[in-house]
Amino acid sequence: MTRLILRRLAISVSLVFVVSLLTFLLQSLTPGDTARTILGSNYTPEGYAQLREQLHLDQPLLAQYGNWLGHALTGDLGTSPISGLGVGTEIAHRLGVTLALVLGTTVVATVVGIGLGVLTAVRGGRLGRAVDVLSMVGFALPSFWLALVLVVLFAVAIRLFPATGYVPFLESPGGWVASLVLPVAALSVHGIAHLAKQTRDGMLDVLSRDFVHTLRANGVPERSIIFRHALRNAAIPVVTVIGLMLISLLGGTVLVEAVFAMPGLGGLAVQSTTQHDLPMIQGVALTFTLIVVVVNFAVDLAYGWLNPKVRVP
């Protein structure tokens, strides 16, 4: 297991470096730059050149990246030239919103999806066909459309939940939960559909194997067979789906945050890109990459726990 962890850590460090470099290079290829955004449409060539020099935009790209990387390694992500705010401070302020959406959606989708998958694998019949229909609907409906429908139904018509905004947990735990219900519900449908079908298919495959018939013949309780043996053997592809779902939610929250006017990292990334705010873009990209690294690392550890063969290099 130790060698597996060290190998994954080495890959993770390389991934962070590559993503930060590619983000820097791709942003430099987009039309316009930070200096033009700050100066607006009316500026003199002399003023433009002076501001570029002040922002170090006149340096070669690799020199700019090396300067950013040197500061980033010390924990300094720089300051936004557009807003004047510290990049680390602004990301820390918005990170909680995005994590609340992503983790809340993951928990809801995992509990409901796996529960439905196990139930339909055991019961089958109409319930199994209902899950198949749910999967098709869940895959077809985009999250932002579901978000708009939920706002109309539960915020405008019934007025049960707030239509927009985010309430910090420390300010009001009840308000925090209420502000997350609709966005989490909109984001969870796709994950529930995928996990329910994956769990059901995996469980049906395991329950048909010879060792399950042997366990039943030896009088092992059905509950133990389902949850201790069948679910664990079917769990590796389910864990993979959970990891992929969590990573995909980082991009999926962008539109949902916009619909519910939530101050998360997705909106910050879009805003920074339109303003050519390179330090802020780099900070958001680095944060997203670190989250992906942590998720992949957790999935690898789960593989090692569920299947000891994975630990062997």
Q: pLDDT, tens digit, for every residue of 205-215?
A: 888 888 888 88
Crossing angle (nearest 10°) for helices 87-123 and 125-140: 150
Return the pLDDT at 35: 80
Please say if the pLDDT value at position 313 is more than 70: no
Residue 128 or residue 45, greater confidence: 45
Please say if the pLDDT value at position 138 is more than 80: no
Please say if the pLDDT value at position 9 is more than 90: no
- Other Cβ atoms closer than 10 A to 276: 22
Please give the structure tokens belonging to residue 156.
């405008």
Return the pLDDT at 183: 93
Please say if the pLDDT value at position 312 is more than 50: no
DSSP code of residue 309: G
Residue keyed to tokens 């962070």: 16
Q: pLDDT, tens digit, for every residue of 61-101?
A: 888 888 888 888 888 888 888 888 889 899 999 999 999 99
Mean pLDDT of 29-51: 77
* Residues above pLDDT 90, as percent of the chain: 12
Return the pLDDT at 1: 59
Choose the most confident range, by mean pLDDT, from 40-44, 143-147, 181-185.
181-185
Q: pLDDT, tens digit, for every residue of 183-201?
A: 999 999 888 888 888 888 8
pLDDT confidence band for 308 (50 / 70 / 90): low
Fold of 93-276+286-311: MetI-like fold (1.10.3720)
Segment among 38-47, 58-67, 124-133, 226-235 with least mean pLDDT = 124-133
Task: Please list, in sequence order, all residues whose beta carbon lies within 8 angstroms of the beta carbon of residue 64, skipping any fewer than 6 positions away.
Answer: 24, 56, 57
Average pLDDT, the chain: 84
**CB-based contact 3:272 (threshold 8 Å):** no
Question: What is the distance between the alpha carbons of residues 84 and 252, in angstroms, rounded to a whole number?
Answer: 28
Residue keyed to tokens 């199994």: 128
Question: What is the distance between the alpha carbons of residues 175 and 129, in angstroms, rounded to a whole number?
Answer: 37
Return the pLDDT at 164: 87
pLDDT confidence band for 311 (50 / 70 / 90): low
Residue ranges of the domains in the chain? 2-73, 93-276+286-311
Give the three-state DSSP class for 261. coil
Choose the most confident range, by mean pLDDT, from 63-67, 129-133, 179-183.
179-183
Return the pLDDT at 223: 84
Closest CA to 236 of 308, 155, 185, 188: 308
Return the pLDDT at 309: 57
Return the pLDDT at 310: 53
Please spell the DSSP secondary structure of 171-190, one letter per residue: T-HHHHHHHHHHHHHHHHHH
pLDDT confidence band for 301 (50 / 70 / 90): confident
Closest CA to 268 of 247, 287, 291: 287
Please say if the pLDDT value at position 270 is more than 90: no
Task: Please list, in sequence order, all residues whose beta carbon lies within 8 angstroms of the beta carbon of residue 165, skipping any fewer than 6 positions away.
Answer: 179, 260, 261, 262
pTM: 0.83
